[in-house]
Amino acid sequence: MEFLPLFTQLHGKPCLLLGGGQVALRKARLLSRAGAVIQLVAKEILPELAALVKENGGNSQLGEFDESQLEHVFLVIAATDDEPLNKRVSEACHQRLIPVNVVDSPDLCSVILPAIVDRSPLIIAISSGGRSPVLARMMRSRLESSIPASFGRLGNLASKFRDAVKAKFADIEDRRHFWERTLQGPIAEMVFAGKDTVAEQMLSKEIAEASPETGGEVYLIGAGPGDPDLMTFKALRLLQKADIVLYDRLVAPEIVEMCRKDAERVFVGKQRSNHAVPQEGINQLLIDYAKQGKKVARLKGGDPFIFGRGGEEIEQLAQEHIPFQVVPGITAAAGCASYAGIPLTHRDYAQSVRFVTGHLKDNSINLPWSELIHDHQTTVFYMGLVGLPVICEQLIAHGRSPDTPIALIQQGTTVNQKVVVGTLATMVERIANDPVQAPTLIIVGDVVKLRETLAWYEVRDLAEPDL
């Protein structure tokens, strides 16, 4: 981190502003909004700028910069187009340890002014460390359009009742839960609808009637196949509410990073035949944490109900009457197929799709093979990499053509995605020379041929279809 974001209280503090043109005017407006007392020095000063400075209790001085002007100033902004002067100002400030900002010269700055989304008292500051102000501004416009203008009023309401809530809930966790409920619920909606007085009445009633939450809750969250952008809004929202996060190997580290910074993270493993915590242990952990009153997020790769044992995890929660929510996720079949350019169904090639598990038990896979050999059906095998030879052999033995196309998608949707295409007859040999690692998804069916035209964004030589 090159710069630490800090929010500075400037009310009544003397700030030196050098420069008298348009850029200085913009900085003067910003400083005035923050309540600073501006001491302006420039050879020429726009009348509008001089008026603004005067209006806010500051003073303007026509003339040159000299180091005596740095006595008793809290912050210095150099907004001149005189580069040697900017450099001199910067050096003088650095020597005296006075924070200095030189417009458009990040190298001369000890502080930089971020792009701001102002929903006072909520303020969002965005910075690219001076490297790409355009990127910072783009991010600002995104936030501007997605945060309701009335967010600030919601902040004011919260601040009005802060002490009352503190008095009601001695425990800091209880307070946090109370505010999380309130700032996302009907009271917030009232503020957004402009009915602040009603919101205020509702909030005092809520505080009077509220009791500390005792029971915990579990969120069984489908985190998608890998690319963090494939999480749902709901998944993200609940993940950020959680006090504790249980995750396994299939969940991308970037996704785990999206939890609250103070949330506890627990790795519960799950690698083929190497479970860090066995399934029963995970089920029990969920119950134990929830009983301690915690909000527990159980992050699962893909969708929790597709080969995710999600059903087992919530069965016990239901028996224990622990509240839970299940958040669906994009399953590996959907994610890998899209990112590999293979539509799972297509009017000309496949009218149905089946998801099956290719997990080996005693070196065999117990599947209804005769149902998986139809020409116009796509079959997707999860957990099928180890059993690949058995899968290819059995499909052919039961009557599927040896020329049927098959795709292996390793770490689909991630930056490490690798796709290998072949036929039922050739695939085992192909990956003997070009190994593929878990997690890998297998897609069998004529739809795989479409990849040639649809996977326009991938490096061609990863796949050499000999179909």
- Supply the minimum distance, in Å, between the C-beta of residue 316 and ligand SAH: 19
φ, ψ of residue 5 in degrees (nearest 5): -70, 130
Calpha distance 97→94 (Å, rounded): 5
Q: Are 327 and 234 in contact (CB under 8 A)?
A: yes
* Cis ω before 121 (30° cut-off from 0): yes
Residue 220: closest CA among 323, 122, 143, 144 = 323
DSSP assignment letter at 114: P
Q: Is 270 a catalytic residue?
A: yes
- Supply the minimum distance, in Å, between the C-beta of residue 434 and ligand SAH: 16
Q: Rg for the chain (alpha carbons), in Å?
A: 30
332 three-state secondary structure: helix
Please tell me which residue in 241, 270, 294, 449 is annotated as part of the active site. Answer: 270
In this structure, what token pair is assigned to residue 466?
């000999």
* Residue 41 vs 218, nearer CB to ligand SAH: 218
- Supply the minimum distance, in Å, between the C-beta of residue 269 and ligand SAH: 13
Report in angstroms the alpha-carbon separations of 235 from 215, 219, 285, 322: 21, 9, 20, 19
Report in angstroms the alpha-carbon separations of 354 from 351, 368, 412, 451: 10, 12, 18, 19
φ, ψ of residue 414 in degrees (nearest 5): -100, 175
Strand extents, DSSP E, 310-439: 324-327, 352-357, 377-382, 405-410, 418-423
How big is the chain, counted in residues? 467
296 three-state secondary structure: strand
Q: Work out whether the CA dihedral 103, 108, 111, 112 comes out positive or negative.
A: positive
- Looking up tokens 């350019």 gives 341
Site of interaction with ligand SAH (CB under 6 A)? 225-226, 250, 300-303, 306-308, 331-332, 336, 382-383, 409, 411-413, 438-441
- Supply the minimum distance, in Å, between the C-beta of residue 413 and ligand SAH: 6
* Residue 101 vs 283, nearer CB to ligand SAH: 283
Q: Are 108 and 77 in contact (CB under 8 A)?
A: no
- Supply the minimum distance, in Å, between the C-beta of residue 300 and ligand SAH: 6
Residue 235: closest CA among 208, 259, 266 = 259
- Supply the minimum distance, in Å, between the C-beta of residue 421 and ligand SAH: 15
* Residue 169 vs 381, nearer CB to ligand SAH: 381
- Supply the minimum distance, in Å, between the C-beta of residue 444 and ligand SAH: 13
φ, ψ of residue 329 in degrees (nearest 5): -130, 170
Q: Work out whether the CA dihedral 349, 353, 354, 355 comes out positive or negative.
A: positive
Please tell me which residue in 174, 227, 248, 303 is annotated as part of the active site. Answer: 248
Q: Is 248 a catalytic residue?
A: yes
Buried b (16+ CB within 10 A) or exposed e, 67-97: eebbeebbbbbbbbeeeebbebbbebbeeee
In this structure, what token pair is assigned to residue 169?
């809930």
List residues with catalytic annotation.
248, 270
